[in-house]
Chain A
Amino acid sequence: MARILIVEDEILINELLCKNLTLVGHKCVSAFDGAEALECIKTGAFDLLILDVMLPEISGFDIIKQAGNVPVIFVTAKNDLKDRMKGFTLGADDYIVKPFEMPELLARVQAVLRRTKRDESFMRIDNLLIDFESRKAFLDGKEIELTPKEFALLDTLITNRNIVLSRERLLQLVWSYYYEGDTTRTVDVHIQQLRQKLNLKSHIKSVYGVGYRFEL
C-alpha cells in the first residue's frame, strides 16, 4: 500500500486513476492543477506522484523539479521522443502515454514502487506470506515451490487485485506475447496450480465468460 498523489486536470481521468489505484490497495489524493499539486507535495508525504505534463498554469515538468525524492510517473498525451527524453532527464521514473490500459499503468506503478522500495516487499494474506523481492511464497512458514511463471502470474493477479483479467490479457502480461489459437488453457492450468499450492481458492475467483479476479 502506498500513498499516491495524482495530478491530472481532466477530472474523469483523475477519478479513473484514483478508483483503480484504490482498488489495488493504494491511498490516493487528487490534485487538478499545478498549484494544488505543489500544495499537496508540501503538506503530505507521498510514495509516488502521477503527473500529467500539460496542466494549466504550471506544467508537469515544472512540478517534478519540486517533487524532491518522491518517485514520479508521467502520464501524458504527448508522445514525442523530445518530451519523453525531457521527462526522464528531469528524473521521472516512468513515462506513460495516453491512451493507456489500466493493467499497464498498475504494473508500472507497482514496478516503480518496488524499485524505489516505497512499497512493502512482503504481503500477508491469511496464513500465506509472499516475498516479492526474493520471489518466494511461504504457507504457514513453509516455503512453497513455485515456477517463475506461477510467481509472475501471482504477482500480476495481486497487482491488479479486484480487477478482472481476461485469459488473453494474462497471457500478454505474464507470458509477454500473444498466443495463437486455444492456448488460454495454459492460464487455467497455472491458476489451478496457484489455487492448490497456496490455498487461494477463496481469493482467485473465476468470472464466468471473462477471466479471473484476485479478490482481497
Chain B
Amino acid sequence: MKKSFFERLYITVLVIFLLFFNSGVLLTALYTYNNAVASAEDICLSEHRYISQAFETDYADKSVTGVQLLMVSYGTFYGEKNIKLRFTRTYNNTVLYSDISDEIPLIDGGSIVNTRIDGKQYIIVSDTICRGSYTLTCVKDVSYLDEELFSLAAAFTAISVTASALLAVILYAVMKKLFSPLEKLRGTTKLISGGDLNARANEKGDDEFSALAKDFNVMAERIGEQMDTLKLNAEQKQQMLDNLAHEMRTPLTSIHGYAEYVYGVDLDPADRMKAMNNIMSESMRLKGISEKLLNSAFIRENGIEKSVFSVDKMLERTRTRFLLKASEGGVRITYIPCDITLNGDETLIELLISNLAENSIRACRGKGEIELGATKEKGIITLYVKDNGIGMTEEQLSHITEPFYRTDKGRARKDGGTGLGLALCKRIADAHGAVLEFESVPSAGTTAYIRFKEENE
C-alpha cells in the first residue's frame, strides 16, 4: 500500500525516536542491574576479607574443635547477613565447618563466581586464608537481584509504553501542524484543477511553504491570464465568424430573393431593371468581401515581398485612380511630392493607401479635401492620408480596425463598404512592422498615419 509523505515521515521519526528512547531505557536498566550485582560482589568480597582477617586475629586454638567453634560463631553472625560460610583444610579438603548446602560446588581458592543453582543465584567467594592453611568460602544468595530486575523491567516498560504513546500523539499533532500549509496548498490546487481559477493559496509566514504558496499563486495568476487571453481570442474569433456569416448571408439573401422575384413575378421593365440592378450591386458587395478576405489570407499565408520603390509614384497612381470617383461628388484629392523611397511590398502598401483614401472619400460625404503624402524624420518614414470629413469619436476610433465594424452601418453599406478595409490595412501594416494610427476630430476630419520602423531605408 502506498503511504503518503506525511505518513512515511511520521512513522520514520516515530520509529527512530522510539528506538533511541527505548534503547536508553534498556541500557539504564542493564546498568542499574549490573551495578547491583557488582555491589553484591563487593559486599561478598569485603565480608570474606573481613572474616579472614578476624579469623587470623582470633585464631588461637589451632585444634579442630577450636577452629570449628570459632567458625560456628562466624556462621551464626553472617547467617543473619544472608551469607553462608564453609571452612576447609586446604591440603586435604577436609570440611571443618559448613552451613552451605551440598549442591553448591566447592571451587578453587582465589576466585569469585556468580552462579545459578536450582533457579537461585549465588555469589561465591573462595580463597585461602592463614597463608594457605585453610580455605574460606562465602556464599551470598542474591536471588533478590532477579526480583529487583523484574520490578525494574516492569517499571521501565510502563514508562516506555506511556512515553511512546504520548510521543506518538504529540509528534502527530506537531507534524500535522507543520504540514497544515501543505494540506491547504493541496486544497487550493484541487480547487483550481476543479475549475475555480480564482482560488489562491495562503501566503502567510516566511518558511518554505509560504514561498511555495507565493510561487504557486504567481503560477495560478499566469494561468488565469493565459486562460483569459485564450477565452478572449476565442470570443473574438466567434464574433468575427458571426459577423462574417451575417455579412455573407445578407447579400446572398438579396441576390437570391431578387432573382426569385424576377424569375417568378410578372414585372414591368422598370421594376425588372431595378431588381437586376440590386442583384448586381449585392454581388459586387460579396465580391468586395471575398477580395478583402482573400487579401488578408494571402498576407497571412505568403507574407510580404519587399522591394525598394518610390513613394511619389505610388501616391500619384493612387490619386489618379480615385480622381474620377472623388471629383464626382466634389472631393478634391491631392498628393504632396516628397522624394522618399520605401522598402516594402509595393502592391500591398498601395492597397493600404487605397483603402484609407476610399474611407476618406466616404467620410467627406461628397464634399471636402483629401491629401496623400509622406514624411521622413530621424529615419522614420510616415505615410499619411488626411481628410476634412466627418471625423470619428474616441469610441469609434477604438473599434475601427475590428473586422466588420462600421461607424455608420447603413450608410457604409450603401457606399459599398465591407467593414473589412481597416482590418486589412492593419494586417498590411503589421506585416511590415509598421504602426497604423489615427487622429480624428468629429466633424473636422481624420488623418491616418502609417509609421514604418527606422531601419526602413
Contacts and interface: CB of A to CB of B under 8 A. Distances in A.
Which of A23, A98, A101, A165 gathers most chain B CB within 10 Å? A98
Contact of B256 (A77, A79, A101): A101
A58 interface: no
Given A10-B250, A13-B257, A79 B245 contact: yes
A16 to B, nearest CB: 4
Contacts of B184: none
B242 interface: yes
A24 B250 CA distance: 23
A11 B242 CA distance: 20
Contacts of B229: none
B254 A9 contact: no
B454 interface: no
A163 B263 CA distance: 9
A16 B254 contact: yes
A77 B263 contact: no
Contact of B249 (A9, A16, A98): A98
Contacts of B282: 12
B253 interface: yes
Q: Is the interface of A mostly helix, strand, loop or mixed?
A: loop
B194 interface: no
Contact of A54 (B246, B254, B265): B246
Interface string A91-117: 000000111111000000000000000
Contacts, number: 68
A98 B252 contact: yes
Q: Is the interface of B mostly helix, strand, loop or mixed?
A: helix
B258 interface: yes
A56 B409 CA distance: 8
B375 interface: no
A75 to B, nearest CB: 9
Given A12-B278, A210-B263, A78 B245 contact: yes
B98 to A, nearest CB: 116
B259 to A, nearest CB: 10
A34 B282 CA distance: 24
A203 B257 CA distance: 24
A16 B245 contact: no
B264 interface: yes
Given A9-B410, A56-B410, A102 B261 contact: yes
B250 A164 contact: no
A19 B245 contact: no
A164 B263 contact: yes
A11 B254 CA distance: 10
Given A54-B246, A101-B260, A13 B253 contact: yes
Nearest to B254: A12
Contacts of B264: 102, 163-165, 210, 213
Interface of A: 9-13, 16, 19-20, 23, 32, 54, 56, 77-79, 97-102, 162-165, 210, 213
17 contacts: A9-B410, A12-B254, A12-B258, A13-B254, A20-B257, A20-B261, A77-B253, A79-B245, A98-B249, A99-B253, A102-B260, A102-B261, A163-B260, A164-B264, A210-B263, A210-B264, A213-B264
Given A20-B257, A97-B249, A102-B261, 10 more contacts: A9-B410, A16-B253, A20-B261, A23-B265, A56-B410, A77-B245, A163-B264, A165-B264, A210-B264, A213-B266
